[in-house]
Chains A and B, each alone.
Chain A
Amino acid sequence: MRLRLPSIRRSTPLRLAGFLLALFACVSLASFGATYLLIRSSLMAGMKDDLQRQMAGFSAAPSASALAALIANQGAVTDPSRMILSYLAPDGQVYGNAALSRGPQGYLQIDLGPGKKGNPRNYFGLAGNFFGGQLILAESREPLEALGATFLDVLFLSLLPTIIIALGGGLYLARRSDAKVARITATLDRLTAGDLSARVAGLPRADDLAAIGDGVNRMAAGQEASTEALRQVSADIAHDLKTPIQRLALMLDRLAGQEGLAEPEAELAGRAREEAERIVATFQSLLQIAQIEGGSPKARFGPVDLAEVARTFAEIYEPSAEDSGQSLELALPEGATEVSGDRGLLGQALANLIENALRHTPPGSRIFVRVRVEAGGVVLEVADTGPGIPEEERGKVLRRLYRLERSRTTPGSGLGLALVAAIAEVHGAELELGDAAPGLVVRLRFPAA
């Protein structure tokens, strides 16, 4: 599985690893620093003791000349890169392995500048005045500097693997949890899309994410069971209600078909039959909306050419529009207008929209059926030049059985747009009601097939 950078940056294990790493680095730095300072100061103390001791040894010389001879001897056998000795005699003569000018008594820092090999020559020294002259003893600071370098090396060597291990471990854990989170998210997506059989599978080990996965599975199982129960209840209701409605329809058929029925009774029987048909239509629509909302039509989806659907239905309704003094105009684009869907349902949605337009616009109105290809999808649109729907009512008309005040007396069940909304939803299409100025425009935006 490929990891997206933003998601890994948000990953909990990686954040924890980073935090622990920073903490560890701080503690390491502090303890290394303290140790370094301690060792360094004890080294310095050692150097001071050594210088004091040697100074005391030389101070035992009986005269300036004896001291000068002693220093000259000692200087000849001492490596100046380790230690320098220098006695500035009262007569101005300098003895020892280095020539240093006179300065104040006590400890001092000496920098002789880069040596022949380019190595810096820094010393820590002690100056003492004897017999009118000055004796300076100084030891190289190199051990101190070497100590610093060693400490830096050790610090680096111990921190680097820690960083690598912590980062690697964090990344590994992040990947693992990211894969688990991705599985849970994918399952939730499928559940949201209506596939209630989706389950989070194969989460290894019982960690907190696996517990969440189990929770999702339990929720989905419960949801599936209640949906199934609901479906069963709907099927039972459908069956139990349809039987009496079926009998009623057959009885009214017989009544209306009876010979020698007087005109008022015949008309009454005819009207009763029409009402029964209306009950059936409403009932059928409610069942169908429920079925579509259950998502089951998705299993039948295939490529559907929206232009072909629009052409068919424009042709079906064109004579009806003409008869009622309206006009039905079709506008189709060049090129592919295919979407993934169910042709029957898409046709029914378009039929409902055209029928709405025919029913709710006065004679002389124009009705347009258009298919457009836009970036990222195909748009199916039905517009009219009728009175339109006030903006604040547009959301409500998508509800089941909702009807505008002015439309209460016109035929129709109030389920047409609710069915269109359900069909749009199952196709992943966006349903939009707008102002065609004047009139209403209903758009269905389909994602590219």
Chain B
Amino acid sequence: MRILVVEDDPTTAGYIADGLRQEGHAVDQLSEGREALVRAATEEYDVMVVDRMLPGLDGLSLVKSLRAAQDRTPVLFLTSLGGVDDRIEGLNAGGDDYLVKPFAFGELSARVSALARRPQMKEAETVLSAGDLRMDLLSRRVVRAGQEIELLPREFALLEQLLRRKGRVVTRTMLLESVWDIRFDPQTNVVETHISRLRAKVDRPFDHELIRTVRGAGYRIEG
């Protein structure tokens, strides 16, 4: 993927760019708002990572200008402002996701890859699958190796989120947001507990493990 990182702190920008390059992405790095607007308008990117506070032109205005020019490149906002109002403001300006500093690199990486493939996910899928597991979204049935699996509604939603991002890491916070609509970090390991319940039904009775734990990042379901 081609990714544009616009961040004025050189250390942070450097680590983000290095990390993304290690994952095999092509990364351009800029530290000034106006310059970023020109670059974004002239070149094609798959995802943009934009800090809200930038010299020259701030992140919000940068993204607003891009959207006004019909540029629909997915944008992940980085910010030190963690208030709900700030988040809403960011999304209203045309941002697709919002990450509050300080964040772990795994979180950023997972969200960047989730953004990049979003357009394809928009198509109405009625069946999700991974290996020998099939989930029918209409009849809300889950079958693995010909065996029907009974899931509680939240377990179903959890598995659905993992399947929708098959092969990619889904972080704990992404699951909290998408399954429970929670935007704070609970101190208790609630996601781990729910994942282990889900594993007990989806993985334990079978010889092959589908739901993998990615250390320091989150979970991934293998295709």
Bound together: yes
A side interface size, CB within 8 A:
48
Residues of B within 8 A of A316 (CB): 180, 182, 186, 190, 194
Residue numbers of A with Cβ under 8 A of B are 235, 238-239, 242-243, 245-251, 253-254, 256-257, 270, 273, 276-277, 280-281, 284, 287-288, 291, 296-297, 299-300, 312, 315-317, 319-320, 323, 342, 344, 347-348, 351, 355, 358-359, 411-412, 416
- How many B residues are at the interface, by size bracket? 35 or more
Per-position 1/0 for B34-69, Cβ under 8 A of A: 000000000000000000010000000000000000
* B106 close to A253 (CB less than 8 A): yes
* A319 close to B193 (CB less than 8 A): yes
List 9 additional contacts besides A276-B102, A319-B194; criterion CB under 8 Å.
Answer: A246-B101, A247-B11, A253-B15, A253-B104, A254-B105, A281-B185, A312-B180, A316-B182, A317-B188
List 7 A-B residue pairs with CB atoms under 8 Å apart, sorted by A's residue number: A235-B81, A238-B81, A250-B11, A253-B105, A253-B106, A256-B216, A281-B187
Per-position 1/0 for B185-222, Cβ under 8 A of A: 11111100110110000000000000000001000000
Interface Cβ pair total, 8 Å cutoff: 107
Query: What's the dominant secondary structure at chain A's contact region?
Result: helix
* B84 close to A245 (CB less than 8 A): no
**Partner among B53, B83, B103 whose Cβ is within 8 Å of the Cβ of A239:** B53
Given contacts A347-B182, A412-B187, contact A246 B9 (CB under 8 A): yes
Q: How far is the CB of A64 from chain B (nearest CB, A)?
A: 121
Residues of B within 8 A of A319 (CB): 190, 193-194, 196-197
- B223 near A: Cβ within 8 Å? no
Residues of B within 8 A of A296 (CB): 83, 85
Residues of B within 8 A of A247 (CB): 9, 11-12, 15
How far apart are the CA atoms of A205 and B217 in the complex, in Å? 67
Q: Top 3 A-B pairs ranked by shortest CB distance?
A: A246-B102, A250-B15, A242-B80
Residues of A within 8 A of B185 (CB): 281, 284
Given contacts A246-B103, A280-B102, A355-B187, contact A287 B194 (CB under 8 A): no
Given contacts A291-B83, A300-B85, A316-B180, contact A242 B189 (CB under 8 A): no
- B141 near A: Cβ within 8 Å? no
In the complex formed, the residue of B with least CB distance to A237 is B80
Residues of A within 8 A of B183 (CB): 344
- B118 near A: Cβ within 8 Å? no
* B186 close to A355 (CB less than 8 A): yes
* A297 close to B189 (CB less than 8 A): no
In the complex formed, the residue of A with least CB distance to B109 is A253
- B76 near A: Cβ within 8 Å? no
Residues of B within 8 A of A248 (CB): 102
- B75 near A: Cβ within 8 Å? no
Given contacts A248-B102, A291-B83, contact A344 B187 (CB under 8 A): no
* B186 close to A351 (CB less than 8 A): yes
Residues of B within 8 A of A299 (CB): 85
- B4 near A: Cβ within 8 Å? no
In the complex formed, the residue of B with least CB distance to A253 is B105
In the complex formed, the residue of B with least CB distance to A276 is B102
Residues of A within 8 A of B81 (CB): 235, 238
In the complex formed, the residue of B with least CB distance to A316 is B190
Residues of A within 8 A of B154 (CB): 315
* B83 close to A348 (CB less than 8 A): no
Residues of A within 8 A of B103 (CB): 246, 249
In the complex formed, the residue of A with least CB distance to B179 is A316
How far apart are the CA atoms of A277 and B101 in the complex, in Å? 11
How far apart are the CA atoms of A235 and B101 in the complex, in Å? 13
How far apart are the CA atoms of A344 and B83 in the complex, in Å? 11
